[in-house]
Chains A and B, each alone.
Chain A
Amino acid sequence: MNISRLSWQNLISNPLNTTLSLLLMTFGVGIISLLFLLNNQIEQQLQANLRGVDMVVGSKGSPLQLILSSIYHIDNPTGNIPYSEAIKIDNNSLVDLTVPLSYGDSYNGFRIVGTTHQYPELYEMSLKKGRLWSRSLEVVLGSTVAQIHRLKIGDTFYGTHGLIEGGHVHDEYPYEVVGIFNPSYTILDQLILTNTQSVWQVHNHEVVEQGHEHQECDHEHHIEESTVSGLELNAIVPEDAMITSLLVKFKSPIGLIQLPRKINETTNLQAAVPALEISRLTNLLGFGVQTINIIAFIIIIVSGLSIFISLYNSLKKRRYELALMRVHGASKWQLVQLVLQEGIILSVIGTVLGLLISRITLLTITLFAEHKYTFSSFQFNLLNEELWLPPIALLTGIVASIIPTVLSYNINIPKTLSNE
């Protein structure tokens, strides 16, 4: 039997008080830690999906929406832009690479994106099985799509109009799976990629049907010649062909300074710079995080108060025990140690539980939300931002124990033993 064991026994002998203090400390630390972890994951994820894209060009609307829909595929597109305009941008001497994106259809909630081979190259995708598409209506699946729908090479499926489940099924145009990507922990794991022509083919037909039934496939076709890498050479494109957006990488930072402004001022297109929009988004998120942080801090302070009340009350009941310990030969400092350790044990266990629970929560969120958001790596280590949580919690425990500690230090043995 020693002071530490006695502190522990005192805590477990008051399960209600101890549980309340622990819960409050655990929640306080856990909420702050979870916020840090989520923030960290979101930032990592935002950066991982950016892949050096300097500019996104789409139709006029919210620039943030354009970025979210074109890079992260978590919002609706702002509209379509003429393919011919995309060619002009692709031909600009400041542009290094362009990737056209055309989407509007989905398969059970997963987006079907018409693009070029540059898109998977940009994300350094590798094929797990099969090959990339070589003609229309051939698709390559992201790993999550393949896994969830158990699709394999050679399987066919129909796309649904719209980006959510339950739209019109394009049942005249079966897509054929020709390849499956390895997991990349980017948004491409959740996309179905095909060539741009597939999207045009499916939708031009639909336009004909909606416009009127007898004008089937009466679009003029001509050959667009593109000399730059981004758009596919000699692609047969309808005259009024549209794409949803264009991802652009510049040869040098000069492009970033000149081209977005030029596009926004002189054309009907919208150019958005992901770096700026993402920084705006994280600032907005940061405000929310800060607010929740303040609430969590208040919870930690309340937990400190709870530790104080719990120690103070139990000390009032146990003061004759402390006097008895002094009679047995305990020094004043041993009594201080006894009380202080109870506060410290509560804050240390609360901190460890809080950090553990935040990680378990994040892991649970990751497992349940994998369909929508994939977290690239799971963080079990302490983040830099979290490093001050243990000292803060410890300090709370110590401050909460100060008054009870002083009381135990100054206990009047004869008076206490005579009054009992």
Chain B
Amino acid sequence: MLQSQSINFSYDGIHQFCFPDIQLSEGEELLILGESGVGKTTFIQILAGLLKPSSGLLEFNGVQFHNLPSKELDQFRGKHIGMVFQSPYFVKNISILDNLLLSLYLSKNKEDKKRAIELLEQVGLGHKINSKPNDLSQGEQQRAAIALAVVKNPSVILADEPTSSLDDVNCKKITSLLKEQAASTNAHLIIITHDQRLKSQFDKSITL
């Protein structure tokens, strides 16, 4: 169970972001829509434990993780949260497969090369496992970023504008991929976007 209550955040102490409460059960999906500047990225970074809210409560399976000490929060994030960003990020000096293995290492998971390769095959990158991130097209990079986010079997998958730079075909593919991966591990899936094309693909959505 992932839930947030009365989350507020301010960068400068003057302008406050107030975010709606959410409550998700295991395997549940949520689409959060909002225009630019309403604090979409801020909200997802709070949900990922990267930003600390000014006030409010964040809880995952009974753990109020926003109050954890820095080191424990790192471990919590590594273990439970997988993130997909608007621009796909990788460690560019190593191959896509090594990026997945590095994620497993940093999150203190077993180095499961077989699973990493299977995952890359599932997202259609079986032939590019040894390619460097810069050698992939934008669509391939976004698919690789999803594999990177889910390789450690996270309990929560957070995606920040994953489709905004993609055409309709790729947009649909990426969304389906995210939903499939979340379903396969019974993870919570939260997508934050301004991309209205996604609205039809989700049963549950809120607007900021």
Q: Which residue of A lies closest to B48 (CB)?
A: A327
Instruction: Indicate whether B94 reaches chain A with its CB closer than 8 angstroms.
Output: yes
Give chain A nearest CB distance to B133 CB in angstroms.
Answer: 10
Q: Which residues of B contact A413 (CB under 8 A)?
A: 50
- Encoded as 1 (CB less than 8 Å from any A CB) or 0, chain B from 39 to 70 comes to 00110010010110000000000000000001
Q: Which residues of A contact B50 (CB under 8 A)?
A: 327, 413-414, 417
Instruction: Indicate whether B177 reaches chain A with its CB closer than 8 angstroms.
Output: no
Q: Which residues of B contact A334 (CB under 8 A)?
A: 106
Instruction: Indicate whether B90 reaches chain A with its CB closer than 8 angstroms.
Output: yes
In the complex, A2 Cα to B103 Cα: how many Å?
A: 10
Q: Which residues of B contact A332 (CB under 8 A)?
A: 70, 74
Q: Which residues of B contact A124 (CB under 8 A)?
A: none
Interface residues of B toward A: which range? 20 to 34
The interface-forming segment of A27-35, A298-306, A317-325 is A317-325
Instruction: Indicate whether B196 reaches chain A with its CB closer than 8 angstroms.
Output: no
Task: Tell me the residues in window 1-46 of chain A with beta carbons closer than 8 Å to chain B beta carbons.
Answer: 1-2, 6, 9-10, 13
The interface-forming segment of B13-21, B77-85, B117-125, B183-191 is B77-85
Known A-B contacts A1-B101, A334-B106, A418-B41; the reply to A329 vs B94 at CB < 8 A is: no
Give chain A nearest CB distance to B117 CB in angstroms.
Answer: 14
Task: Tell me the residues in window 72-113 of chain B with beta carbons closer than 8 Å to chain A beta carbons.
Answer: 74-75, 77-79, 81, 83, 85, 87, 89-94, 98, 101-108, 111
Q: Which residues of A contact B45 (CB under 8 A)?
A: 414, 417-418
In the complex, A9 Cα to B94 Cα: how many Å?
A: 7
User: Could you tell me if B70 and A1 are in contact, using CB atoms closer than 8 angstroms?
Assistant: no
Q: Which residue of A lies closest to B71 (CB)?
A: A331
Chain A residues within 8 Å of chain B by Cβ, number: 25
User: Could you tell me if B48 and A6 are in contact, using CB atoms closer than 8 angstroms?
Assistant: no
In the complex, A417 Cα to B44 Cα: how many Å?
A: 12
Known A-B contacts A1-B98, A13-B93; the reply to A328 vs B78 at CB < 8 A is: yes
Q: Which residues of A contact B87 (CB under 8 A)?
A: 420
Give chain A nearest CB distance to B108 CB in angstroms.
Answer: 7
Give chain A nearest CB distance to B141 CB in angstroms.
Answer: 13
Known A-B contacts A1-B98, A414-B50, A414-B51; the reply to A328 vs B103 at CB < 8 A is: yes
Q: Which residues of A contact B81 (CB under 8 A)?
A: 327
Give chain A nearest CB distance to B125 CB in angstroms.
Answer: 17
Give chain B nearest CB distance to A19 CB in angstroms.
Answer: 16
User: Could you tell me if A321 and B92 are in contact, using CB atoms closer than 8 angstroms?
Assistant: yes
- Encoded as 1 (CB less than 8 Å from any B CB) or 0, chain A from 316 to 346 comes to 0010110111111111101000000000000
Can you list 10 pairs linking A and B with CB atoms under 8 Å apart?
Answer: A1-B101, A1-B105, A9-B93, A13-B92, A323-B89, A326-B74, A327-B77, A329-B78, A414-B42, A417-B45
- Which residues of B are interface residues toward A (Cβ below 8 A)? 41-42, 45, 48, 50-51, 70-71, 74-75, 77-79, 81, 83, 85, 87, 89-94, 98, 101-108, 111, 152
